[in-house]
Amino acid sequence: MAKLDETLTMLKDLTDAKGIPGNEREVREVMKKYIAPYADEVITDGLGSLIAKKVGIEGGPKIMVAGHLDEVGFMITQIDDKGFLRFQTVGGWWGQVMLAQRVTIVTKKGEVTGVIGSKPPHILSAEARKKPVEIKDMFIDIGASSREEAMGWGVCPGDMVVPYFEFTVMNNEKMLLAKAWDNRIGCAIAIDVLKQLQGVDHPNEVYGVGTIQEEVGLRGARTSAAKIEPDIGFGVDVGIAGDTPGISEQEAMSKMGKGPQIILYDASLVSHKGLRDFITDVADELNIPYQYDAIPGGGTDAGSIHLTHKGVPTLAITIATRYIHSHAAMLHRDDFENAVKLIVEVIKRLDRETVDKITFE
């Protein structure tokens, strides 16, 4: 593997951390380690979302930059008498990316390795082999011979199960392959925004947030935004990359390496026009690349943030990512760095007068 610089080490630590919805503690600790040096205060809300505050001008507009801590995974629901584990998906999974994949069960006694299995195709009828295996017919094999043996290793219903994958810098070193880019890249953006504001005059209070339980309904964004009461919100997340074979531009426009995505519309949010225009004007002024996209079938934390308090002008800014909601996803480092640069430059310009103008446009 290529030698990891400071940024790559942070990205590896964030993506290696294990945390499905409701089990974000490990990820929260990693994010806290990296963001605390650049924050004036780090707290959590009542559900466990991390909130790091950095003050430019006390009492200035509150700017919330939120990525979510959780990743899609599974939860153990039953252990059968032969030691096989039944599970529930936590977050959205497509069954075709799951079979024969390695997973880690996090138990009270430590980590246990497993593999997702099903009935082998060799004993299925020709007709059955043509159909995808349904998730309900899958199980996790940990090599146990009985329920008692599995429980003796610490496995218990309710335990978190996380995809296993090794963080990898590709031959093209801008291309980064890892599990959980959805949405540890958003957490990394929040960290680096606060880092880039070190020693910089800015006219507001900035909140870098790691929210919980985004994958099961944008829940932590709602509680953390209620605590912060932001004036402007950014949900930073992954988006769809439309540059692999078989995808038309009508289905997905964005390409990796061509800049962060400005989301016009998704199932949770119609982007705030005043904020959207302000951001693209800043990007155009500074020649920061960006792309537009619309995702009719998904949502981000921006969907919860904009409905909080008295209503918050909010925008989703995302990173074009291949193979999300699977064991391994890929993104482009330039898109991450340009997203940070754009958000920092926007924050520098968000004084009270500007925020009021955006809000009431």
Catalytic residue positions, numbered: 214
Q: Return the SS3 of 147.
A: helix
Please, what's the b/e burial string for 118-140 (b: 16 or more CB within 10 A of its CB; e: otherwise)?
Answer: beeeeeeeeeeeeeebebeebbb
Give 159's contacts (C-beta < 8 A, 6+ positions apart). Answer: 75, 76, 105, 106, 107
CA–CA gap between residue 283 and residue 342 (Å, rounded): 6
Tokens of 327: 């064991």
Q: Return the SS3 of 197.
A: coil
Sequential DSSP letters for 98-131 = TTT-EEEEEETTEEEEEEEE---GGGS-HHHHTS
Tokens of 293: 């996209």
Q: Output the CA–CA distances (angstroms, integers) from residue 39 to 42, 53, 76, 211, 341, in the order listed.
A: 7, 5, 37, 17, 18
Tokens of 239: 């988006």
Burial (Cβ within 10 Å: 0-12, 13-18, ≥19) of residue 334: middle
CA–CA gap between residue 216 and residue 299 (Å, rounded): 11
One-letter identity of residue 336 = F
